[in-house]
Structure 1
Amino acid sequence: MAEITYRRTGELLRQLFKILMSSPDGMFGRDAIKQLEGSVSLSPYEAGDYPSGGRRFDRIVRFATVDCSKAGWLVKEKGRWSITEDGRKAYSDFTDGEDFYRKARKLYQAWEKNKSGYPSESSFTGEPASQPTELEDSAVEQSADVTFEAADEQARLEIEQFLHSMPPFEFQHLVADLLRAMDYHVEWVSPPGKDGGIDVLAYSDPLGTKPPRIKVQVKRVLQKVDINGLKSFAAVLDDEDIGLFVSAGGFTKDAEEYARSHAKRRITLIDLQRLVELWIRFYDKLAEVARRRFPLTPIYFLTPQD
């Protein structure tokens, strides 16, 4: 008989939490599961595949994280997983794997009963007459949450890899394409070489006679842009300019704070996630050459029911 026990599942979850807690910015779920696999020994059953497709180990872990997410211990945002303060506390309080997972299941049941956000300790009373020791294998295999989550995460990861591998000059033109689709008038895109801190210049009118002038700096690097990089960009902005800083690697927290507090010279930060969201939003208005530069196709899945 197939065994997916509460104890084993809880032990895997605690090890997963340990991995995620060492990554403050979170990790893609598939990367966290891969790290988890490297730190534990899989049983022959876990290492096998379900008849309907998908490896059992991956689906068991993803299925169990649904409970942790509804318990408020784990946040899943745009494919990335990160542990909340409540999750850190639970990891500290429930050192036994089975106790850890049973608590998450209990809080999930409270969430399901209320459907009004994260559950509180008082929102669930009583215990079932008999507590199961194993998860239902069929529920794990057929979970719509797991199927949707894995597909969404895979798509996001492939998009990130595609954009990170794009030549820097091509990436600049992609940003210019997006601005045109948003009805801005792109005056200039910097050729390869030194650019003086400006990669794209755009206006809100065809002749460029009306303020503001939009100055754009584009970084296709993996590293986060820090506050010094943002200050250098701010130095090339005049009083009536608006700055857009596009960074594939994102921004450090001090850079984000600097942009928020920079009232006189307005700066908008665009990381890779926001760039992709805008690209999808304005996809129908993109020129054909722009779509060929970064082609996307929507695929529909059955939405998991909360």
Structure 2
Amino acid sequence: MAEITRRRTGELLRELFKILMAAPDGVRAREALQELSVRVNLTPYEADSFESGGRRFDKIVRFATVDCVKAGWMVKDKGIWSVTDEGRAAYAELIDPEAFYKRACKLYAEWKAAQPDAEPNTAANTSAAVSVEEAENTAKAVSVTFEEAEEQAWTEISQYLRAMNPYDFQDLVADLLRAMSYHVTWVSPPGKDGGLDILAWPDVLGTRPPRIKVQVKRQQQSVNVDGLRSFMALLGEDDVGLFVCTGGFTKDADAEARTQEKRRVTLIGLEKLFDLWEEHYDKLTDRARRRLPLRSIQFLAPGG
């Protein structure tokens, strides 16, 4: 990437940060890269594509963001990129694009040196310095490859869950509760359910509180505070509520759930649901696994 200077990389990163900082909940990586490519004028080199496919510009930016992640300026989670408070502070402090990227590179180097398997500092001679740089570039390339594969996998999984039949999705949640050692006593059949989709207990006889009341929604839009309050109205003193929604929850709804003193309720969005499914996958029945089958693929662990 000799055609890309540190100043140019810094310009791209600062514009990327501007996009991400405007979205407190983060932006999907592909959407952020597309928006960035519209905001900046791509050079012919950046706009060119690799023989294996994929635009060179995307790879350049992804490669540079590895430094920002290890610097503590960015977070990447299931293909969602967001800027941390440290990243916002760095953006405000380091106005010069080149200084911005240099600081990220410096912090990456410090992170790398602190790793247990870090190589001794051999940058005293030119050949050794080149070897160290090549090793770091290889590590970053592995990290980017892993990141892209992870994003693709999550895109397919989330689309699959969002397209699932609502009652199949409801059964998936019930299967997960069983794998978590809860005893599901009732799952709502098709038709009106009065706001409850699943009832479960900590013990098989249903004699030990709390009773767990679950509402499940497979929808695109987020549940707002009014929707949450309607569900909480169904909770008694000895009940715990679980609200599962593929569309997530608004900030007001999240705050309402966190500040409750009498009615205990836990909100579970799509990402949390999948994390729980993955965590308890070994305890699922074969029939349950067929609802959302997973298969592990081994990748070289990204060291950068």
* Interval containing the TM-score (normalised by the shorter chain): 0.7 to 0.9
Structure 2 Cα separation of the partners of residues 113 and 270 of structure 1: 38
Q: CA contact under 8 A between 2:63 and 2:140: conserved in structure 1? A: no
Residue in 2 that maps onto 1:112: 112
* Aligned-residue offset at 1:274: 1.3
- For the residue of structure 2 that corresponds to 1:143, the secondary structure is helix
- Give the Cα separation in 1 of the matches to 2:71 and 2:291: 41
Residue 231 of structure 1, aligned match among 216, 229, 232: 229
Segments of structure 1 that go 5 or more residues without pairing to the other structure are 117-128
Query: Which runs of structure 2 are paired with 1:154-233 in the superposition (5 Å)?
Result: 154-233=152-231
- Contact 2:210 / 2:238 at 8 angstroms: preserved in 1? yes
Deviation at 1:49, TM superposition (A): 4.0
- What is the CA-CA distance between 1:211 and the residue it aligns to? 2.7
SS at match of 1:295: coil
The alpha carbon displacement at 1:3 in A equals 0.9
Choose which of 271, 278, 281 in structure 2 pairs with 1:273: 271
User: Cα distance, 1:219 vs. partner?
Assistant: 1.6
CA shift, 1:51, in A, is: 5.5
> Contact 1:63–1:140 (CA<8 Å) still a contact in 2?
no
1:23 Cα deviation after fit: 1.0
Shift of 1:208: 2.8
CA distance in 2, matches of 1:145, 1:172: 36
User: For 2:22 and 2:109, how far apart are their aligned partners in 1?
Assistant: 29
In the other structure, the counterpart of 1:98 is: 98
Distance 2:264 2:165 in 1: 28
Residue 160 of structure 1 and its aligned partner are, at CA, apart by: 1.3
Distance 1:206 1:103 in 2: 57
TM-score normalized with structure 2 length: 0.85
* Inter-partner Cα distance in structure 2 for 1:94 and 1:261: 38
CA distance in 2, matches of 1:204, 1:191: 22
Residues 50 and 141, structure 1, Cα contact 8 Å, conserved in 2: no
Please tell me the residue identity of whatever aligns with 1:261. T
Deviation at 1:96, TM superposition (A): 3.1
Identity of aligned residues (%): 60
Q: Are the counterparts in 2 of residues 59 and 141 from structure 1 also a CA contact under 8 Å?
A: no
Deviation of 1:47 (Å): 3.1
* CA distance in 2: counterparts of 1:82 and 1:36, whole angstroms: 14
What residue in structure 2 maps to residue 240 of structure 1? Answer: 238
Deviation at residue 40 of structure 1 after TM alignment: 2.6
With over 3 angstroms needed to count, the CA separation of the structure-2 counterparts of 1:298 and 1:143, relative to structure 1, is: same
* Aligned-partner SS, 1:215: strand
Q: Is the 8 A contact 2:187 2:199 kept in 1?
A: yes
SS of the residue 2:90 aligns to? helix
Per-residue deviation at 1:85?
A: 2.5
The one-letter code matched in structure 2 to 1:16 is L
The one-character-per-residue Cα deviations of 1:86-134 (angstroms, maximum 9, x if unpaired) are 3223323333322221222123223334459xxxxxxxxxxxx9xx9xx
Give the TM-score taking structure 1 as reference length: 0.84
- The answer on whether the counterparts of 1:200 and 1:215 sit within 8 Å (CA) in structure 2 is yes
Q: CA deviation at 1:255?
A: 2.4
Q: Which amino acid aligns with 1:183?
A: S
Q: Give the RMSD, CA atoms, in angstroms.
A: 2.8
Aligned-pair CA distance for 1:180 = 1.8
Aligned partner of 2:57 in structure 1 is 57
Provide, for residues 236-256 of structure 1, a one-character-per-residue CA deviation record: whole Å limited to 9, x for no partner. 011111111112122233322
8 Å CA contact retained: 1:74, 1:87: yes
- Corresponding residue number in structure 2 for 1:301: 299
Contact 2:247 2:269 (8 Å CA) reproduced: yes
Letter paired with 1:86: E
**Aligned length, in residue pairs:** 290
Q: 1:141 to 1:12 in 2, by over 3 A?
A: farther
Which amino acid in the other structure matches residue 171 of structure 1? F
Please, which runs of 5 or more residues in structure 2 have no aligned partner?
117-125
Q: Is 2:28 the counterpart of 1:28?
A: yes
Retained in 1: the 8 A contact 2:209–2:239?
A: yes
Q: Which moved more, 1:105-114 or 1:153-162?
A: 105-114
Native 8 Å contact 1:59 1:140 kept in 2: no
Whether the 8 Å contact between 2:171 and 2:187 is mirrored in structure 1 is yes
Give the secondary structure class of the aligned counterpart of 1:64.
Answer: helix
Distance 1:37 1:292 in 2: 40
